[in-house]
Chain A
Amino acid sequence: MATLSLRDVRKSFGATQVLHGIELDVADGELVVIVGASGCGKSTLLRIVAGLETATSGQVVINGRDVTELEPADRDIAMVFQNYALYPHMSVFGNMAYGLKIRGMGKAEIEKRVKAAAEILGIGPLLDRKPKQLSGGQRQRVAMGRAIVREPALFLFDEPLSNLDAKLRVQMRAEIRRLQRRLGVTSLFVTHDQVEAMTLGDRLVVMNAGRAAQVAPPMEIFERPADTYVAGFIGSPAMNFIPATLDQGNASARLSDGTLIRFADGPRPGEAGMPLTLGLRPEHVETGDGPDSLPLAVELIEPLGSETVVHGRAASGMAVTARLQGAFSGESLPVRLTPTHLHVFDAETGRRLEP
């Protein structure tokens, strides 16, 4: 098995720089998910690891070998493509056996490996079919099978689930996770879907405009997002952002309507009066009347069954989204911006301010 290291990987297409120095170390057997909006450079990064693109500068190290300039064939990797990229003129067996044949493996061994992989993926009866005779889910499995039989050092997944319908996507997601655990292959998985990222990854790389905004395990990203981009990207509905300034000897934030919120976990570094962005997830917005409660004029109610998302606006014009247990109806909703779950960011740089 193998490790992967990216050292200061940069990539420019002409004058446009799409990757600004990516650093990443993936441990043996780890599944790292690269997540970000479209155009953030996540696919380019994966293609650089695969050897389908060449980094403008920086290093790609697989299992201690510098493979930066090597061809894909010399990298010992396998990749699952978004559109599966099956060989249309070959049978399922042919698709899975192709890479093994090229490596000069014997017929019997090829047969054994393909059969075993087909068994694992439940596509044993399909081995003689052509790709166009398969459903989307089956093609997906064949693409996985083609990667598995090779027993590569590194698995690369380029949004492999995005062409499946919602139900199948959830099912395949779980299956990929189980498979990856079982085989213990180091994996890099690219997606734009934050739920996929959170459920699959040992660690996530949240990409923003060609930079890794944060590299951390899913829960840490959720609980301590490194900046406002990550905070807004991960979590649904998205985190509420409230402009404020640093006040009371850095121990409180003052909202635009004058309300003071005292940080529960201690003062933040910075100059007095420094502009802040406060973040509060909708599920952490508490409701109920009280001295410090803020009446919201309800603008939109989204019932989700077990819970309800309420979009409202405070008298100051500030928009707040709250996620409530159970059903809700009404014209107004009193909420409290509880300091215990408050995230504090520097409004200028967007970076998280720790106590």
Chain B
Amino acid sequence: MQKKVIFKGRLLPLALLAPQLAVTFVFFFWPAGQAIYQSLLREDAFGFSREFVGLENFQEVLSDPSWVNAALNSLVFSGCVAGLALGLALFLAVQADKSLRGATVYRSLLIWPYAVAPAVAAVLWLFLFQPNVGLLGRGLNAIGIAWDYRLNGNQAMILVIIAAAWKQLAYNFIFFLAGLQSIPASVLEAAAIDGARPARRFWTIIFPLLSPTTFFLLVVNLTYAFFETFGIIHALTSGGPAKATETLIYKVYVDGVQNLNLGSSSAQSVILMILVIGLTAIQFRAVEKKVHY
């Protein structure tokens, strides 16, 4: 944890830490505290009076059908995004890890969508799937599928899933490739000599040895789908149609910023914080337990 040889002094290290700590306290602990405090209060419609209501806000939130709807949307959305982005990225990484002509070119071409902002990714896909203008949107309508994500909730969900998974593909690909390359070649050669064909090698050797990477990515992807995809949903569907793509984080935004219901949105924020802390804790447990082969 610490070096043996160190410098002396008290003021200097505190001065060095000051900026980081100041930002952390002002923009992290204070608002987090505020959120918890407000989640226990109720404000009247005009903001004149506040009263302490205990866990009532939480009760209300958890029993609110629109919150449950958002929670279910979040589950479906993040499950599909993680599954799609992880599965596809793993498959591509395995292919790119083979000794192929042009493998490095493929690798370079596959990683750069990482740089595209979620909201920009949304715009790109919107332009493809817009029912009157988009190439694919028009194509779907031409073959008889009534495609309009602005009217059909399931189609809207599919579209945000595609855009979100597309954006995350590169990230997963990079990590899977790094994971694959850290598996010793000789172990795979030993398996080949033991008679395992590629498919069997993958499932019995590569996949188990890759599991720490996969688990890490699973948590990262879930976190991504839960929180960082706000831009995609906001730009593509604004949570609609009829709240079909409203996720938990989107609902916090709607209730807090548009409806100005601070008590409820604070309670929702606290629930989300607990969720993230839970996810992170699981991840740290896994990192600690992670077998160092």
A interface, CB within 8 angstroms of B: 50-52, 71-73, 77-79, 81-83, 85-89, 98-99, 102-103, 132, 146, 150
Contact = CB atoms under 8 A, between A and B. Distances in A.
A102 B200 contact: yes
A87 B184 contact: no
B31 interface: no
A1 B58 CA distance: 75
Contacts of B209: 88-89
Interface string B167-200: 0000000000000000010110111111111001
Contacts of B204: 98
A83 B184 contact: yes
A87 B187 contact: yes
A78 B196 CA distance: 13
Contacts of A83: 184, 186
Contacts of B194: 73, 78, 98-99, 102, 146, 150
Nearest to A130: B291
A103 B192 contact: no
B48 interface: no
Q: Which of B184, B193, B205, B209 has the most CB of A within 10 A?
A: B193
A85 B186 contact: yes
Of the four ranges (under 10, 10 to 19, 20 to 34, 35 or more), the interface on chain B belongs to 20 to 34
B208 interface: yes
B187 A85 contact: yes
B187 to A, nearest CB: 5
Contact of B293 (A50, A51, A89): A89
A87 B184 CA distance: 10
A72 B186 contact: no
Interface in B232-251: none
Nearest to A75: B193
Interface string B194-218: 1111001000110011000000000
A78 B293 contact: no
30 contacts: A51-B192, A52-B192, A52-B193, A71-B197, A72-B192, A72-B193, A73-B192, A73-B194, A73-B197, A77-B193, A78-B194, A79-B189, A79-B193, A81-B189, A81-B190, A83-B184, A83-B186, A85-B186, A85-B189, A87-B187, A87-B190, A89-B208, A98-B194, A99-B194, A102-B196, A103-B195, A132-B292, A132-B293, A146-B190, A150-B194
Contacts of A103: 195
Interface of B: 184, 186-187, 189-197, 200, 204-205, 208-209, 291-293
Contact of B189 (A52, A86, A99): A52
B195 A87 contact: no
Given A52-B189, A98-B191, A98-B204, A85 B196 contact: no
A87 B208 CA distance: 10
Nearest to B189: A52
B263 to A, nearest CB: 50
Contacts of B191: 87, 98
A52 B292 CA distance: 27
Contacts of B292: 132
Given A81-B186, A85-B187, A85-B190, A99 B195 contact: yes
A50 B187 CA distance: 14
Q: Which of B189, B190, B200, B208 has the most CB of A within 10 A?
A: B190
A18 to B, nearest CB: 17
Nearest to A104: B195
Nearest to A98: B194
Contacts of A73: 192-197
B148 to A, nearest CB: 49
Contacts of B293: 88-89, 132
Contacts of A72: 189, 192-193, 195
Contact of A88 (B196, B200, B291): B291
B84 to A, nearest CB: 27
Nearest to B187: A85
